[in-house]
């Protein structure tokens, strides 16, 4: 059947085919090596931004950063971590624009890469697993993935535009039109990408800015499968899937549970919540709790917090945000699966059930693998970093977890560490960002049937 050249349906069809064809070409280039593709893409992007930031014009005083400092900033921006070895005032306007570009590239890059990897690996799944996989992405068939990506781009830019507009009046009033607009755009992108980069150390005191950034970080940390699901619920009356429900529930529990614990331990701390009024105390506690999800902005000195808060923050940073988001950590749904496993054991059930759904048996193994891999990376890095820096366990553990969770809260160790320490933190940010995606995606796919079985034997454990 010949289609009219000017029908909108035909144009949409052509566009989709184009996207699918591009995706196929891209897939063929890295066929069979999705992990290698992800790692290569990130290394390339980070190298480019490192080179740009190592040039003199990136610094306010035209005195260039050392290569390792440029690499820290570039890696930190592309992996949306927010740890830097320089004060925010160090960078020139050009440097700030490069950082903004790196954040947006990294943020959207992660989302794109995540969707693409899912697409590639889904091709190799059995029909049943493929259905489960597309279902959890919020699409009913694989052909929808390009549309999903388009939606993610549009939604991301729309939300960032909205956040910019909300903050614009405050910034314009205090900084003038030009700088005000740049600040609003920068903080909007930095918040929704969960990057945690700031332009100066004083912007975050205004309550409206704080709230907007908190909302931006919250939304960004949910992850694109959740954002796409919510979009489809609003515009296409879709029913909420299990992934979205678990992500929203765990994120809310961690946000408010974390805020309560933080408020308890900081309520009378003169260096943090102590001097504030009750409302401000609660507001700042929720802000600080939300930032571990992994926004990484802070309204008071990290090191001024009590040991108890630091420890709870460590745990929250290790958990991180939603799967397929710009947040790091082992992810809230991984925690949900691990917790559900315990509940299942205590209830003595045969299957993990939640919200009238059963989880596939294999998912608990993936969750364990993600948890253990995270623990191994963090512990190895802490041992090496204490060795190189001579800093104590508390400081080192916090900084490594902040890097692994791509959170960006800092005890100052990233700035004070010798070069070897900075390279360790660069590696941890990279693994925390790229490793978990490829690791988890790689793990989920390779379900192979074995043709032989061994007798079952149960060792005693616990």
Find the length of the chain: 462
Least distance (Å) from K ion to the CB of residue 195? 5
Structure tokens at 248: 């929203």
Phi/psi at 198 (5° precision): -125, 160
Q: Which does 408 bind (CB under 5 to 8 A by kind): K ion, its own copies, none?
A: K ion
Of 82 and 216, CB closest to K ion: 82
Q: Applying CB under 8 A, which part among 20-28, 37-45, 169-177, 333-341 lies near its own copies?
A: 333-341
Which residue, 213, 107, 222, 231, is CA-closest to 166? 213
Binding residues with its own copies: total (CB under 8 A):
91
Q: Does 436 bind its own copies (CB under 8 A)?
A: yes
Looking at the DSSP assignment, which residues form a beta bridge with residue 354? 357
Least distance (Å) from its own copies to the CB of residue 242? 4
Least distance (Å) from its own copies to the CB of residue 142? 15
Q: Which does 330 bind (CB under 5 to 8 A by kind): its own copies, K ion, none?
A: its own copies
Q: How far apart are CA 182 and CA 234, in angstroms?
A: 31
Q: Which does 113 bind (CB under 5 to 8 A by kind): its own copies, K ion, none?
A: none
Of 141 and 347, CB closest to its own copies: 347
CB count, 10 Å around CB of 73? 27
Q: Return the H-helix or E-strand segment holding 145.
A: helix 145-175
Q: Applying CB under 8 A, which part among 17-25, 288-296, 423-431, 445-453 lies near its own copies?
A: 445-453
Of 37 and 378, CB closest to its own copies: 378
Least distance (Å) from its own copies to the CB of residue 371? 8
Which residues in the 388-427 window bind its own copies by CB under 8 A?
A: 392-394, 397
Three-state DSSP state, 350: coil
- Cα→Cα distances 100→104, 183, 189, 307, Å: 6, 11, 7, 33
Q: What angle do CA 163, 250, 365 make, to 5 degrees?
A: 125
Of 34 and 321, CB closest to K ion: 321
Interface with K ion by CB under 5 A: which residues? 82, 194, 196, 294, 296, 408
Q: Which does 247 bind (CB under 5 to 8 A by kind): K ion, its own copies, none?
A: its own copies
Q: How far apart are CA 171 and CA 177, in angstroms?
A: 8
Task: Look up tokens 């890696």; give the residue.
Answer: 75
Of 146 and 216, CB closest to K ion: 216
Which residues in the 34-63 window bind its own copies by CB under 8 A?
A: none
Q: Does 456 bind its own copies (CB under 8 A)?
A: yes
Least distance (Å) from its own copies to the CB of residue 20? 22
Least distance (Å) from K ion to the CB of residue 76? 8
Of 296 and 324, CB closest to K ion: 296
Least distance (Å) from its own copies to the CB of residue 345? 4
Of 230 and 336, CB closest to its own copies: 336
Which residues in the 198-257 window bind its own copies by CB under 8 A?
A: 223, 225, 241-243, 246-247
Q: Does 113 bind its own copies (CB under 8 A)?
A: no
Contact 135, 217 (CB under 8 A): no
Q: Which does 296 bind (CB under 5 to 8 A by kind): its own copies, K ion, none?
A: K ion
Which residues in the 263-302 window bind its own copies by CB under 8 A?
A: 265
Q: How far apart are CA 331 and CA 318, in angstroms?
A: 8
Q: Which long-range contacts (CB under 8 A, 24 or more apart) does 91-98 make?
A: 91/58, 91/59, 91/60, 92/57, 92/58, 92/59, 92/60, 92/62, 93/182, 94/57, 94/58, 95/53, 95/57, 95/58, 95/59, 95/60, 96/182, 96/186, 96/199, 98/49, 98/52, 98/53, 98/58
Largest interatomic CA distance in the chain? 76
Q: What is the DSSP letter of 406?
A: T
Which residues in the 355-394 window bind its own copies by CB under 8 A?
A: 356-370, 372-373, 379, 382-383, 386-387, 392-394
Q: Which does 82 bind (CB under 5 to 8 A by kind): K ion, its own copies, none?
A: K ion
Least distance (Å) from its own copies to the CB of residue 259? 16
Q: How far apart are CA 140 and CA 281, in angstroms?
A: 45
Q: Which of 338, 412, 415, 427 binds its own copies (CB under 8 A)?
A: 338
Phi/psi at 3 (5° precision): -95, 145
Q: Which of 276, 344, 412, 423 binds its own copies (CB under 8 A)?
A: 344
Which residues in the 122-141 window bind its own copies by CB under 8 A?
A: 132-133, 135-137
Least distance (Å) from its own copies to the CB of residue 410? 17
**282-288-290-292 Cα dihedral, nearest 10 degrees:** -150
Q: Which does 285 bind (CB under 5 to 8 A by kind): its own copies, K ion, none?
A: none
Q: How far apart are CA 446 and CA 151, in angstroms?
A: 29
Strands 353-354 and 357-358: antiparallel
Q: Which does 454 bind (CB under 5 to 8 A by kind): its own copies, K ion, none?
A: its own copies
């Amino acid at each position: 059947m010949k289609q009219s050249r000017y029908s909108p349906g035909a144009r949409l069809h052509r566009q989709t085919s184009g996207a699918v064809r591009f995706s196929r070409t891209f897939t063929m280039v890295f066929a069979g090596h999705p992990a290698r593709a992800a790692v290569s893409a990130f290394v390339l992007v980070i190298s480019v931004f490192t080179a740009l930031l190592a040039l003199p014009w990136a610094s306010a005083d035209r005195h260039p950063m050392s290569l390792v400092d440029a690499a820290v900033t570039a890696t930190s921006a592309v992996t949306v971590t927010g740890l830097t070895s320089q004060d925010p005032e160090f960078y020139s306007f050009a440097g700030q624009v490069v950082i903004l570009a790196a954040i947006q590239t990294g943020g959207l890059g992660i989302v794109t890469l995540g969707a693409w990897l899912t697409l590639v690996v889904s091709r190799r799944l059995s029909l049943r697993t493929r259905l489960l996989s597309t279902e959890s992405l919020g699409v009913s068939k694989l052909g929808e993935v390009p549309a999903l990506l388009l939606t993610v781009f549009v939604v991301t830019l729309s939300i960032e535009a909205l956040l910019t507009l909300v903050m614009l009046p405050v910034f314009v009033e205090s900084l003038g039109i030009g700088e005000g607009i740049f600040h609003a755009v920068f903080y909007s992108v930095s918040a929704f990408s969960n990057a945690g980069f700031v332009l100066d150390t004083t912007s975050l005191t205004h309550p409206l800015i704080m709230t907007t950034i908190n909302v931006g970080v919250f939304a960004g940390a949910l992850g694109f499968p959740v954002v796409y699901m919510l979009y489809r619920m609003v515009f296409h009356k879709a029913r909420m899937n299990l992934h979205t429900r678990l992500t929203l529930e765990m994120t809310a529990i961690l946000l408010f549970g974390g805020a309560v614990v933080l408020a308890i331990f900081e309520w009378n701390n003169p260096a943090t919540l102590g001097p504030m009024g009750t409302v401000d105390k609660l507001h700042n506690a929720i802000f600080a709790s939300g930032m571990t999800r992994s926004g990484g902005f802070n309204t008071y000195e990290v090191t001024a917090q009590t040991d108890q808060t630091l420890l709870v923050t460590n745990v929250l940073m290790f958990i991180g945000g939603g799967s397929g988001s710009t947040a790091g950590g082992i992810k809230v749904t991984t925690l949900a699966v691990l917790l559900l496993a315990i509940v299942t054991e205590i209830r003595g059930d045969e299957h993990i059930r939640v919200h009238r759904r059963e989880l596939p048996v294999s998912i608990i193994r993936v969750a364990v693998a993600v948890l253990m891999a995270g623990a191994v990376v963090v512990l190895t890095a802490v041992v090496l970093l204490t060795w190189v820096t001579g800093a104590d366990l508390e400081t080192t553990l916090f900084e490594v977890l902040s890097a692994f969770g791509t959170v960006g809260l800092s005890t100052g160790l990233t700035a004070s560490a010798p070069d070897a320490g900075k390279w360790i933190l660069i590696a941890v940010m990279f693994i925390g960002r790229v490793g978990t995606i490829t690791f988890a995606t790689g793990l989920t796919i390779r379900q192979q049937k074995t043709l032989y079985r061994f007798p079952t034997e149960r060792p005693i454990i616990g």
